[in-house]
Amino acid sequence: MAPLDRCSILPLLHLLLCRLVAVLSFPGFILKVDKSCCLLWSSDFQLPPLPAYSLAGCDEVAYEERRYPAGKWACVTMGEPLYEQSISMSFMKLMRYICKENSVGCHLGMTIPVLNEIHLTKEGTKLEREVLTAYYLPGEFQQNPPVPMDPEIHITERAPLRVITRVFYGMTTEETILREISHFWELLGSTDSVLQETYIVASYENPSIPQRRNEIWFICRAE
């Protein structure tokens, strides 16, 4: 029997770690996990925090400023009625791409955070339906990203990014996100240095964990 290569072993290891997980749950929405795909985020599995960033400045209590380098991301855009539905559907698509549904047929490896780019309506009181969810490709695939089998997944070169970030914990719904954005503006004060219609919600843990770590990112305007 031929020895198993890395692409065969890693998915099996993840599958063994997560074999008891059958569904991901969100408030009012349940999405089944495809049995052919291993679950990459488990509460006891440590994931690498990629991409790396440099700390540009910070407030020890409230927030910090970071700079992220340019890089390639796999992105999916969904426009479901609820924010939670959009991110869960996009996440499942990206999981399948990461696991094996790509041109090299290989497990790519998970990176965090997973980014969810959101837009406010003109009134600033609601979220636009469309949410872009992005997964950073590991370093070994940055030069030649595997092609997704799913036509709704696109590989995008994202420019360097400077953001002001604040941590919050719990489930991410439209209500909680709008509340965190409003609270962040109160802390930050009036400024024209960041975008006021586009924000990013960064996810660091399994979406099924109730008190998971998230961040709100305010995007700084180009210098």
Q: How confident is the model at residue 90 (pLDDT cuts 50, 70, 90)?
A: very high
Residue 201 has pLDDT above 50, yes or no: yes
Half-sphere exposure of 66 (CA within 13 A, CB side): 14
pLDDT score of 206 = 76
Q: For residue 204, give the nearest of 220, 219, 187, 216 by alpha carbon.
A: 216
Map tokens 């959101």 to a residue.
118
Candidates 216, 197, 190, 199; CA nearest to 124 is 197
Residue 24's nearest CA partner among 172, 134, 174 is 172
Pairwise CA distance, residues 165 & 115, whole Å: 13
pTM of the model: 0.77
Q: Is the pLDDT assigned to residue 125 strictly greater than 80?
A: yes
Is cis: bond before 113, omega within 30 of 0?
A: yes
Token pair for residue 86?
Answer: 């959009």
pLDDT digits (tens, 9 = 90+) for 162-177: 999 999 999 999 999 9
Report the DSSP pairing between strands 54-59 and 71-78. Answer: unpaired
DSSP class of 45: -
What is the SS3 string spanning 104-155? CCCCCCCCECEEEEEEECCCCCCECCCEEEEEECCHHHCCCCCCECCCCCEE
Q: What is the pLDDT of residues 20-66, one digit of tens each?
A: 232 333 332 223 334 334 444 433 333 344 455 555 555 555 789 99
**CA distance linking residue 220 with residue 3, whole number of Å:** 50
The pLDDT tens digits for 181-195 are 999 999 999 899 999
How does DSSP classify residue 201?
E
Out of 37-46, 85-94, 95-104, 207-216, least confident range: 37-46
Whether 6 has a pLDDT exceeding 90, the answer reads: no
Two tokens, residue 157: 């070169």
